[in-house]
A and B are shown apart, each in its own frame.
Chain A
Amino acid sequence: MADNAVYGSYGWAGYIARVDLTSGNITTESDEELQDLYIGGMGFANKIMADEVPAGTKWDDPENKAVLAVGPLTGSGVPLAGRSTWATLSTFTKDYLIVDAHCGGTLGAQLKYSGHDGLIIEGESESPVYILIDDDKISIEDASAVWGKGTRETTEALCKKHGVDCCVAAIGPAGENLLPYACVMNARSHSAGAGLGAVLGKKKVKAVVVRGTKAVNVADPQMVADLSDYMLNEVLGSNNNHVVPSTQQSWAEYYDKGSRWTAAKGLYWAAAEGGPIETGEPKPGELNTVGYRCMKSTKDLGPEAEKYTVKMAGCHGCPVRCYTNVAIPRVKEITGYSSTGNTCVPNFPVSSYMPGIAPVAGLTDDEGTLTDLSVIYNQVVSGVVDDLGLWCNYAQLYRDIAHCYAEGIFERELGDDYADYKFEDFFNNQDPTPIVKILTDIAMNKKEIAYVGHGPLVWTERWNDAKWYDDAKSCLINYRGWPVHHAIECFGQVGGLYNMMFNRDDMIHSAVNFQGCGLPIDLKRQMAKEMWGAEDACDPDKAYTPINDAKIEFAWWSIVTDVLHDSLTLCNWVWPMAMAPEKARDYRGDLDLEAQFFTAVTGKEVTIDDLYKAGERIMTLQRGYSALGMTDAEGNVGCNDFRNVHDVITEWVFEKDPDIKPFEEGTDKMDRDDWSKALGMLYKRFGWDEELGCPTKQCLEDLELDDLATKLDEAGLLVDGGDAYDDRTRTYDGILADYSANNPALA
């Protein structure tokens, strides 16, 4: 325990920086009053947006803000606490409502070490600038020399000026040119999406440069260390917390070929410096091999990627190394970039999302195995989009490009430009090079093709293709403009429900981690009973049963854990620790770890139920704030009918698999009545109005969201009713403690 007088308060840095680009004023303010209710990260950023940006503001108005925030656990030494959350108004979904953009890399940790829990960017600059945060010193600097540059070149230039130990989070041409699909990049390939890049571009902010040399003060450093050791030794799995290996291994009772625990004997980081490094068979309890478990390059790109694999990497503070790092001569020849790689869509944008819509020649061999050409196609796109600062709306960009090509929409709409893009060469002639121009023109936002980067809300109307929403191949899950992010294919109604909650794709992984963890369904159902009240919370894939209370509890838990993690900040791509690789603990995870780490770091005694309540509060805050800005059927601003206006799932989920009925084996299609009932049950679980899905007077009071209640009341959007918190919630504290004998916090 270090001196507060020297190192400041525990957990939080205690201050948020505010940079007003219009006036040039730079100030800092205490965040102490936000800490208990809103935690940090998403909670802070949403609260600040809700308080300061009037409902109905458009994303490109000067009144819109971009708020970056981290939480008490960020950079504290807690495993997987390297993420950060931005909030701003959506550039690409209906009504420009609030969205969160999460990113890893080194941005969050550096911001925290600079002595700030957040950065509020407001107003607009007249000329290109970047914001420099060097510990306490914050300044607005001239960015004219890097305006027009890609994110790589910008990072190099600003690191040359300010030091290679800085984190540069930059927009590329996409952001500068206000493309709604623009993102902010740091550490080569870590992106904060959701149009954030366009918001910064409108404000003429080329980059945020941060160097932090200060400390995160920790109330009980020994407990943070002990809990970390415990977690890494026996609770943590691989990426997505998959807890069994993907191949049969001597130590493992189970294996599952879908698992992201992909290390194996004979599988190498073959391009490692000094000779190949075998991923081998890292076992539970071997703390020093955790970072080999996830061999992501071959998992995503196929066996041909092995020879290009230098190593894995990832976010600050995370022992699960899920980021591919490949050095591919052909990609370097095409793009100029020595290394590329990602962990998510930009790692496999072509091979995973295009062939099902428009065949791409040469990506697979006769047996269906991904080829060397596939590796090159994917990594050319990966390098190019990251440099352009071009986001994809969780792969929607790639599905839409394939669709618009295959259906002749591009040929019809792009005029004389069409021939220049050489789509034929890209799709049919095994030539990856045309994609560079295609993506660059989208990012530059000047030619017709760029509308595909405005999102389906815009281009389907402009190019007269609204029916695309109702095609299962589109993967669009909501008419407001976002695609599936582990939706009905993930425990049926559970995934479907949480895909409706936000104003973009949900990015919730709590449920899909459990789905893909590799444990047998019978065991999962036993675990589901312990965690969510009944085995029926989870069904086998494509063998779904009607909605029930346990499924609703599972959906609620998936939402609040995700929101909590985005606030603490922890990586929801691996957290929560619902399962574990250790047979000795019957594969049970440890759901109390967030709370135990929180207490060890901040010194504040909490239970996991306290933190889940905070997650529910932050979700409800976003919901209420969205009601204030949402337009109704007549176009009036202010609408609380979420059921009919916001949470409208696309038709294909009811229409797919026409020969099979809902709840029969072999389909994950939804039943309309069951879906309608499920929505009402989830609303009730949150204390919201069962019909409308909006926050009620009761739940706002229970969650201490008084300001929001007042605003909703003034707008005529506040409704009575709603179950009292104590009547609708259950206790999670200590729920898996019987399996957690080695947990040092229980000693």
Chain B
Amino acid sequence: MKENTALEHVGSGADRLDAFFTRRGFVKVSGAFVTALAALGLLPESAAAQPTSSQGQIDYYATPSHVLKINRARCTGCQRCEMMCTLKNDGVSQPAASRIHVRDGFLFGKELGSGDGIYYSCEWNIRQCHMCTTAMCQTACPHGAIVTDESTGVRSVDPEKCVGCGTCAAACPYHMPTVNTVTHKASKCIACGRCAEQCPNGALELVEWENVNHASGPTKQENPDPLISEKQDYVGGGKIK
């Protein structure tokens, strides 16, 4: 496994303590130190539960300041969020490079047969960056191109370092980062909130960080309707004789 150079970028240890105590930043300290802090009530219990590395240290990823909270039942699929995201962050309108994703689920949800999408339940997932405590995109990046903002804890892609390999997107449990097909650089959400500002249905909200892993709604219907294409000769609402 390649060394996670992102750690070097933010340094480690006591010089990050200020950021540490404000739940910002990104530190690498000894397990004993973290356990002690947790015992003093200065850290969430989950911090001490992080896996220990072979060097007897743990990586503790403090949480970013903000995260997008979404309500998919309110989403009407206009996809303005994607355009507003890229206008602000890339200077162009390019939904496929957006840091929030609606377009790929609009027709059929997560996948064909999910029972979602405009053809079925009329629900689809708004896929947003979860601002993970353990940011796999960052951990996996072989070039240390995903960096942490020291004041907000939010990670972003350093385009100078990014080579567009897509490891970040593959590593993310939600496949949120995208590699721009024009620039060949990755992008990920930086919690700017522009998407939420322009959401005409208030389906998006930029909130102070909380765990949103289970707040995105179901990713498929419990009992999805069978696909029309699985019903033979079902045209126009009946069998064609």
* A→B interface (CB under 8 Å): 1-2, 6-7, 75-77, 79, 106, 109, 113, 135, 148-150, 152-153, 155-157, 159-160, 163-165, 172-173, 187-188, 212-218, 221, 224-225, 228-229, 232, 269, 272-274, 277, 287-292, 310-321, 325, 327, 332, 334-339, 380, 383-384, 387-388, 436-437, 439-440, 443-444
Contact = CB atoms under 8 A, between A and B. Distances in A.
A327 B90 contact: no
Contacts of A321: 76, 78, 200-201
Nearest to B117: A164
B214 interface: no
Secondary structure dominating the interface of B: loop
A153 B235 contact: yes
Nearest to A442: B236
Contact of B96 (A79, A113, A334): A113
Interface stretch (B59-67, B130-138, B226-234): B226-234
A388 B237 CA distance: 9
Interface in B63-98: 71-80, 83-84, 86-88, 90-97
A229 B200 CA distance: 11
B196 to A, nearest CB: 8
Interface residues of B, number: 63
Nearest to B240: A440
A380 B236 CA distance: 10
18 contacts: A2-B90, A77-B84, A109-B95, A148-B240, A153-B234, A155-B119, A159-B108, A173-B240, A187-B107, A229-B198, A277-B74, A310-B121, A311-B74, A314-B76, A321-B76, A321-B201, A338-B119, A339-B121
A212 B98 CA distance: 13
A156 B112 contact: yes
A284 to B, nearest CB: 13
B235 A75 contact: no
B200 A291 contact: yes
B238 A164 contact: no
B202 interface: yes
B78 A291 contact: yes
Contacts of B194: 225
A156 B108 contact: yes
A216 B95 CA distance: 10
A259 to B, nearest CB: 18
B106 interface: yes
B115 to A, nearest CB: 8
A228 B234 contact: no
Contact of B200 (A75, A225, A288, A325): A288
Contacts of B196: 288
A2 B183 CA distance: 11
Given A225-B87, A318-B78, 4 more contacts: A164-B108, A187-B107, A436-B236, A439-B236
A273 B123 CA distance: 8
B94 A216 contact: yes
Contacts of A135: 181
B182 A159 contact: no
Given A213-B96, A291-B200, A221 B88 contact: yes
Given A215-B94, A291-B76, A317-B78, A164 B112 contact: yes
Given A164-B111, A327-B122, A216 B236 contact: no
Given A187-B107, A217-B92, A319-B78, A148 B123 contact: no
Nearest to B77: A313
Contacts of B236: 150, 172-173, 384, 387-388, 436, 439-440, 443
B199 to A, nearest CB: 6
Contacts of A164: 104-105, 107-109, 111-112, 117
B120 interface: yes
Contacts, number: 234
Most chain A beta-carbon neighbours within 10 Å: one of B118, B120, B227: B118
Interface string B186-215: 000000001011111110000000000000
B4 to A, nearest CB: 29
Nearest to B224: A338
B226 to A, nearest CB: 9
A76 B94 CA distance: 8
Contacts of B118: 187-188, 313, 325, 339
A213 B200 CA distance: 24
B229 A232 contact: no
Most chain A beta-carbon neighbours within 10 Å: one of B93, B104, B123: B93
B237 A335 contact: yes
B83 A75 contact: yes
Contacts of A224: 87, 93
The 10 closest A-B pairs by CB, nearest first: A291-B200, A335-B237, A213-B96, A215-B94, A319-B200, A2-B91, A215-B92, A291-B201, A288-B202, A165-B104
A221 B200 contact: no
Given A165-B103, A384-B236, A443-B236, A214 B78 contact: no
B80 A159 contact: no
B217 interface: yes
A384 B234 CA distance: 11
Contacts of A384: 236-237
A77 B94 CA distance: 9
Most chain B beta-carbon neighbours within 10 Å: one of A277, A288, A332: A288
A317 B96 CA distance: 14
A626 B200 CA distance: 42
A1 B237 CA distance: 49
B73 A214 contact: no
A569 to B, nearest CB: 14
Given A165-B104, A310-B121, A336 B96 contact: no
A76 B93 contact: yes
Contacts of B123: 273, 310
A708 to B, nearest CB: 34
A315 B118 CA distance: 12
Contact of B107 (A109, A159, A316): A159
B225 interface: yes
Contacts of B90: 2, 215
A153 B228 contact: yes
Nearest to A271: B122
B181 to A, nearest CB: 4
Contacts of A318: 78, 80
Given A6-B182, A288-B201, A215 B93 contact: yes
B238 A290 contact: no
Nearest to A323: B76
Nearest to B83: A77
A287 B225 CA distance: 35
A325 to B, nearest CB: 4
A684 B183 CA distance: 52
Contacts of B238: 335, 436-437, 440
A290 B197 CA distance: 12
B91 A334 contact: no
A327 B224 CA distance: 13
B202 A159 contact: no
Contact of A77 (B87, B103, B225): B87
A321 B225 CA distance: 25
B112 A311 contact: no
B206 to A, nearest CB: 12
Interface in B30-52: none
A421 to B, nearest CB: 13
A488 to B, nearest CB: 35
Interface in B145-187: 181-183
A159 B240 CA distance: 23
A289 B197 CA distance: 11
B237 A383 contact: yes
A214 B234 contact: no
B86 A215 contact: yes
Contacts of B119: 152, 155-156, 188, 337-339
A164 B111 CA distance: 7
Nearest to B101: A165
A325 B231 contact: no
B122 A313 contact: yes
B229 A316 contact: no
Contacts of B109: 164
